[in-house]
Amino acid sequence: MSTVTQTAQSQASITPDMAVELLKAGNKRFVENKGLQRDLLQQVNQTASGQFPFAAVVSCIDSRIPTEVVFDQGIGDIFNARVAGNIVNEDILGSLEFACKISGSKAIVVMGHTSCGAVKGACDNAQLGNLTQMLDKIKPAVELTPTADGEARDSNNTAFVNQVADKNVELTIENIKKNSEVLNEMHQQGEIALIGAMYDVNTGEITFS
């Protein structure tokens, strides 16, 4: 299958829904080991004078989730904001505003993953340097995730950890809408999609919410 390096024209032709479908299709190819063949050096040359990514992804710093790889995308296709626990702050919000309002991306995907170390740390109330304040941003998800009486609420409970990761994605999306007037307005006007996703580290499959 032939590949296309994104241009201003190709980016403009992609709707928010199409952008999400392109990512879904890319992950399907990845899981089936049918990734597109790309001349990455040629894409370097083609994007040297400008970039026109069709989507932006907020994902975890986890080394098992190289975003372009698991979505089977090439150089110039997607923006990446990677931080432990796929949270947002002013810097990441500003980056997303640049991606969508200035550079024309049509979708934002907030992607968590199973067995997330940052989420485990938040569940365990880990304390370590700057990591402490970062994990504090995940704790609302911990507090809002219910468990049955007597069920462990720490990293030893895998199901709980993954449920917290789900809730954390949901809260990150809420924070984007709450703390970025630019992105919230674009979303309300249908200019961008804003969607959550979870990556399964056991299978490589991404489930969209």
**pLDDT (tens digit, 9 = 90+) per residue, 55-84?**
999 999 999 999 999 999 999 999 999 999
**Mean pLDDT, range 110-134, rounded to an integer:** 96
pLDDT value, residue 168: 98
* Range(s) of the domain holding residue 108: 8-208
100 is in an annotated binding site: no
On whether 123 is known to bind a ligand per the annotation, the reply is no
Is residue 3 in a domain? no
60 marked as part of a ligand binding site: yes
CB 56 within 8 A of CB 78: yes
Is residue 105 in some structural domain? yes
Query: What is the pLDDT confidence band of residue 4, given thresholds at 50, 70 and 90?
Result: confident
Q: What is the pTM of this model?
A: 0.95
Pair 3, 72: CB distance under 8 Å:
no
Q: Is residue 167 part of a domain?
A: yes
Q: What percent of the chain has pLDDT over 90?
A: 98
Report the domain count for the chain: 1
Tell me the percentage of the chain whose pLDDT exceeds 70: 99
Residue 11 has pLDDT above 60, yes or no: yes
- Which residues, 6 or more positions from 170, have their beta carbon under 8 angstroms from its beta carbon? 141, 196, 209
- Residue 1: pLDDT above 80? no
Confidence category of residue 2, pLDDT binned at 50, 70, 90: low
Question: Mean of the pLDDT values across residues 111-139?
Answer: 96
Looking up residue 51, the CATH number of its domain turns out to be: 3.40.1050.10
Chain-wide mean pLDDT for the chain?
96
Query: Residue 2: inside a domain, yes or no?
Result: no
Q: How many CA atoms lie within 13 A of 97 on its CB side?
A: 16
pLDDT mean over 107-122: 98
Mean pLDDT value across residues 134-147? 97
Taking the C-alpha atoms of residue 168 and residue 82, their distance in angstroms, rounded to an integer, is 15
Q: What is the pLDDT of residue 99?
A: 98
Domain-embedded: residue 1: no
Q: Average of pLDDT values for 22-30?
A: 98
Mean pLDDT, to the nearest integer, of 137-154? 96
Cβ 110 vs Cβ 86: under 8 Å: yes
Location of structure tokens 């069709």: 54
148/59 Cα distance (integer angstroms): 29
Tens digit of each residue's pLDDT (9 = 90 or more) over 88-98: 999 999 999 99
Residue 116 counted as an annotated binding residue: yes
